[in-house]
Structure 1
Amino acid sequence: MAKITTASLLKMKQQGNKFSALTAYDASFASAFDAQGIEVLLIGDSLGMVLQGQDDTLPVTVADIAYHTRSVRKGAKNALVMADMPFMSYATTELAMTNAAELMRAGASMVKLEGGQWLLETVSALTQRGIPVCGHLGLTPQSVHLFGGFKIQGRQAEQAQAMIKDAQALEQAGAQLLVIECVPASLAKAITEAVSIPVIGIGAGKDTDGQILVMHDLLGISTGYIPKFSKNFLAETGDIHLAIQRYKAQVAAQEFPADEHTFN
């Protein structure tokens, strides 16, 4: 596999080819995912839950993300490495630039921020300074207490229209990728068609340009429960490498996510 860049992902969108993403937190798994051709590796603030045992992502720090980004970068030769900006690390544009620079120095090729219109100035400032940005809309886990829990977003027409406008505004501000999480499949399709940048879905149906899962969910080892939108690929294969292969193949063939993993 050739080295993946934002230009590679854009070309895949334009050609109608679906790509795969996974969270990664260490060099060994990053290398395994990379070897199977996973295009995007995200050092997610999900590490707060799956690695640290927290109830949500809020306790995760920039230092935590930077540490795991350095580890993932060691194992990823070809995949695009993206790092989450954790809770309150981009509350102001100045803070965002300082913290994003730390994550880029740690080995990230892109940073991901949760939010819509209020982020536009920050997204613009980062991209103007050479830091590629991925936006994140829908269920944004850092806002879990505002939402009153991990709930589906965008079911009301007004909220859905606002999300489409947010996606377009983020692209205009310079975002080169977009993640949408836990939204109805019809809204995910509308957002994907409304922007020219690649859209990665999680719990957003099969019509997005790419899919992402938390690696612990894909392997069926998350504590607590496996989300509706995920699938235990290890249970089907009995082998981690085959599980990764099957995930990538089913995303490419639009067999995953299936109806049972999708919100309407």
Structure 2
Amino acid sequence: MSSHRQDAVRRLAAPDIAARKGKAPIVCLTAYTAPVAEILDDHCDLLLVGDSVGMVVHGLPNTVGVTLEMMILHGQAVMRGSRKAMVVVDLPFGSYEGSPETAYANAARVMKETGCGAVKVEAGPAVVDNIRYLVERGIPVMGHVGLRPQAVLVDGGFKAKGKGGEERRRIQEEARATTEAGAFAVVVEGVAEGLAREITETIEVPTIGIGASAGCDGQILVTDDMLGLFDWTPKFVRRYADLRGEITRAAAAYAEDVRARRFPGPAEIYFAKAG
């Protein structure tokens, strides 16, 4: 018998998420650190270690500069901090768009070194065959259509998609092809509401909306946006807290106490024992 303690909580997996199609909405948020993952775990079905970590945590201008090593490091942290939610790790730009063999090697490394439940890729015509290749070899894949942050240099910025006829048709086709290639769910980002609803109604796997439609099978936001850590947030974000304001007030109060020599006080100081 193994001496390892068995965790009483079963972590959600790709089949659990796929089975939620058309049922109770799937709750998803991003996580990049163990403490935040621990807080979110009780409330989320899925935690995404998004390549948005490059912008949110590391201050990069976009996600293009994110490396495989960064994703693995943050994926490990989120796995340590969570127990119940499924953890999905983004494959960063340049790690999966080439040959199927390269995509598999990088995805397998992420799965092995983090223990995550799946990887996510930004889908497109050049990636569909690679999604199929990964799934056929035992790697669960979540797709991503619509606004694709890794394509920001081609698109010239973060722009909403699917408002025009040809672009609408292309995104519909990408969602369908991604599903047929074996993805267990598809993130639909930054598209016209009607298009997101139509995709949800026509593909057989759950859609996870972000700047899309309440009619999607689930929703995801960047946690730091939702918590109000930045001055500016996208149109599709609803702020549920003002942590930037709270942190600012706490830092100002601390600075004032230090400068006035009110901190540390007797309660925060160690004294030698008498005698």
Bin for the TM-score computed over the shorter chain:
0.7 to 0.9
Find the aligned partners of 2:116 and 2:202 in 1 and give their Cα distance. Answer: 27
Q: Give the match for residue 194 of structure 2.
A: 186
Unaligned runs of 5+ in 1: 240-264
Could you tell me which residue of structure 2 aligns to residue 67 of structure 1? 73
Could you tell me how far apart the structure 1 residues matched to 2:157 and 2:238 are?
21
The answer on whether the counterparts of 1:164 and 1:194 sit within 8 Å (CA) in structure 2 is no
For residues 21 and 67 of structure 2, what CA distance do their matches in structure 1 show? 33
1:125 alignment counterpart: 133
Q: Corresponding residue for 2:117? A: 109
1:107-134 Cα offsets, whole Å, 9 max, x none, are 2211111122221210111001100001
Aligned pair partner of 2:31 in 21, 24, 28: 24
> Could you say which residue in structure 1 is the equivalent of 2:148?
140
Which residue number in structure 1 is paired with residue 211 of structure 2? 203
Look up the match of 1:44. 50
> Which TM-score applies when normalising by structure 2?
0.82
AA at the equivalent of 1:183 = V
Q: Indicate the percent of aligned positions where both proteins have the same amino acid.
A: 39
Q: Could you tell me which residue of structure 2 aligns to residue 252 of structure 1?
A: none
The alpha-carbon deviation at position 154 of structure 1 amounts to 0.8
Q: SS in structure 2 opposite 1:233?
A: coil
Partner residue of 1:257?
none
Which residue matches 1:55? 61
Q: Mark the runs of 5 or more structure 2 residues left unpaired by the alignment.
A: 1-8, 247-275
Q: Equivalents in 2 of 1:77, 1:118: separation in Å?
A: 35
Structure 2 SS opposite 1:86: coil
Question: 1:158 corresponds to which residue?
Answer: 166
Contact 2:120–2:144 under 8 Å retained in 1: yes
Q: Which runs of 4+ in 1 moved over 4 A?
A: none
Quick check: 1:42–1:84 contact (8 Å CA) kept in 2? yes
Instruction: Report what 1:259 is aligned to.
Output: none
Offset of residue 135 of structure 1: 0.7
Following superposition, the deviation at residue 2 of structure 1 comes to: 5.5
Greater relative contact order (Cα < 8 A, sep 6+):
1
> In the alignment, what sits opposite 1:244?
none
Say if 2:190 is the partner of 1:172: no
Shifted more, 1-10 versus 152-161: the winner is 1-10
Of residues 62-71 and 87-96 in structure 1, the stretch that sits farther from structure 2 once superposed is 87-96
Instruction: State whether residues 54 and 62 of structure 2, in contact with CA within 8 Å, keep that contact through their aligned partners in structure 1.
Output: yes
Secondary structure (helix, strand or coil) at the match of 1:42 reads strand
Q: Which residue of 1 aligns with 2:220?
A: 212
1:221-240 to structure 2, matched below 5 A, reads 221-222=229-230, 224-235=231-242
Task: Give the whole-Å Cα distance in 1 for the aligned partners of 2:120 and 2:19.
Answer: 20
Contact 1:21 1:211 in 2 (8 A): yes
